[in-house]
Amino acid sequence: MRVLIVEDDPVLADGLTRSLRQADYAVDCINDGAEANHVLATQSYDLVILDLGLPKIDGFEILRHLRHRGIKVPVLVLTARDALQDRVKGLDLGADDYMTKPFDLPELEARVRALIRRGQSGGSSILTHGTLALDIAGRRATLNGEPLDLSARELGVLEVLMMRSGRVVGKEQLAEQLYGWDEGVGANAIEVYVHRLRRKLEPAGVAIRTIRGLGYLLEKLPNA
């Protein structure tokens, strides 16, 4: 996997380079915009980490140039600016993700992994959460390789929760997801599905937390 870092701050560039090399990526690092343009025209990468505030040619310009030439490499934008307009502009120009400095290194690494994975395939249809696996296409769930007996609605709920593991999923989002099976799924029905799902997953240590007034959350596993 080849990653290009375009960052003019030497300390940050060095930190990023070392961190990604530890994760066995082949990393190139460039500190000015003109050179980045040139390198991106001649070489191919699996990911570009792009700082917006560069000397000579800024990150927006590089991004515009890149997409203009039809290069589809995933781009993770790093920036000191977090105004909404900047964010929107970056994403409009074809950035795939956006991080504001200073950031947490583990989070950056996770996003790098996700972007590279997305760039490589259309995205896997198998979601995993510890020993729990869900085949979205096949509509089957397994726990420790053993098939789980889940209804279609329970599978629907589990799919949404697993896709957003560690984040809150609102009841209305779940209701929307189940709309295809049930006309107008009420909040009470959602509670029932979650309750059943919880009972089936609990023995494997998979916890679905209720967040007061907000929804449900599939708790992240400690090592994830």
Q: Which residues of the chain form contacts with other proteins (CB under 8 A)?
A: 9-12, 14-16, 18-19, 22, 51, 53, 78, 80-84, 100-106, 166-168, 170, 209, 211-215, 217, 219-220
Least Å distance between CB 11 and other proteins?
3
**Neighbour count for residue 110 (Cβ, 10 Å):** 12
Nearest CA-CA partner of 79 in 107, 49, 117, 112? 49
Give the residue with the Cβ less far from other proteins, 15 or 119.
15
Give the residue with the Cβ less far from other proteins, 41 or 88.
88
Least Å distance between CB 108 and other proteins?
8
**What are the beta bridge partners of residue 208?**
218
Least Å distance between CB 143 and other proteins?
23
Question: Distance between CA atoms of 10 and 218, rounded to whole angstroms?
Answer: 39
Q: Give whole-number Cα distances, 162 to 133, 208, 213, in Å.
A: 9, 10, 20
**Locus of tokens 């089936």:** 200
Give the residue with the Cβ less far from other proteins, 78 or 197.
78
Least Å distance between CB 151 and other proteins?
27
